[in-house]
């Protein structure tokens, strides 16, 4: 964890509020897999890559941003669940 957005443990947070920023090699690899799969025409590979990103805490909005930027980053902000 690189950065915490809350100041106290058990602090109440709002839906979609940023909680923390995370650094992960697995995340970077999953993002790279997604950007490569989204360039091709293999739908199952792209869906698997999206599933992997979601399992690592990446939101749909962040996946859309990744689709547009095509830039993998080792950092991801994790948000409070909806």
H/E stretch holding 4 reads strand 3-4
**Which structure tokens are listed for 57?**
């805490």
Q: What is residue 73's predicted lDDT score, i.e. its pLDDT?
A: 83
What pLDDT sits at residue 12?
81
pLDDT of residue 1: 79
Distances (CA, A) of 17 to 6, 36, 45, 78: 10, 30, 30, 9
* Per-residue pLDDT at 17: 87
Per-10-residue mean pLDDT of the chain, 82 residues long, equals 82 85 88 86 84 89 90 84 75
């Amino acid at each position: 964890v690189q950065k915490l957005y809350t100041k106290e443990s058990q602090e109440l947070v709002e839906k979609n509020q940023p909680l923390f920023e995370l650094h992960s090699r697995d995340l970077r690899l999953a993002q790279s897999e997604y950007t490569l799969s989204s360039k091709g025409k293999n739908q199952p590979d792209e869906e698997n890559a999206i599933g992997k990103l979601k399992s690592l805490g990446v939101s749909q909005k962040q996946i859309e941003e990744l689709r547009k930027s095509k830039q993998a980053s080792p950092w991801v902000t994790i948000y409070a669940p909806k």
